[in-house]
Amino acid sequence: MHKKLIVYTDGGARGNPGPAGASVVFMNIKGEIVNTFKKYLGETTNNIAEYSAVVLAFEEAQKLGAHEMNFFLDSELVVKQINGEYKVKNAELGKLFIKIYNLRHNFRRVTFSHIAREKNKLADKLVNEVVDDALR
């Protein structure tokens, strides 16, 4: 069981909207990969896919018994919305925002940070795999 997780998430849609996927990479505090998850989302937008990846991370982290999570996303919009710097104006994103807001109360500490896309390669690779698999 890992009480503190480093979490990389990514979501993407081909065509925006288009076939989309979400992925999560969990690492321990030593930087070792603990687990990965990927999920095909069907037809949706990039932003919904990004939010869906965060929801997936919360749901899977609960199963692992985590207490703390430090999220790293390459979506500046999602990070700024979740951190309260930007307003959520889209109704569908608003529903996911509320879900994330409620899920985060199951954890002692949760942070969200924006990173460059180059630092999120594994999560990006998993999104592409799950979309490729669905399109075959």
Residues 112/79, Cβ–Cβ less than 8 Å? yes
Residues 76/12, Cβ–Cβ less than 8 Å? no
- Total domains, the chain: 1
Query: CA-CA distance, 39 to 134, in Å (whole number)?
Result: 10
Q: How far is CA 110 from CA 4, 113, 115, 136, in A?
A: 10, 10, 16, 37
Q: CATH number of the domain that 128 lies in?
A: 3.30.420.10
Average pLDDT over residues 83-92: 97
Burial of 57 (0-12, 13-18, 19+ CB in 10 A): buried
Q: Which residue has the tokens 């690492």?
A: 27
Q: What is the pLDDT of residues 29-69, one digit of tens each?
A: 999 999 999 999 999 999 999 999 999 999 999 999 999 99
Q: Which domain holds residue 39?
A: 4-135
Residues 107/70, Cβ–Cβ less than 8 Å? no
Average pLDDT over residues 96-121: 97
Its pTM surpasses 0.85:
yes
Q: Which residue has the tokens 């390459």?
A: 74
Q: What is the pLDDT of residue 65?
A: 93
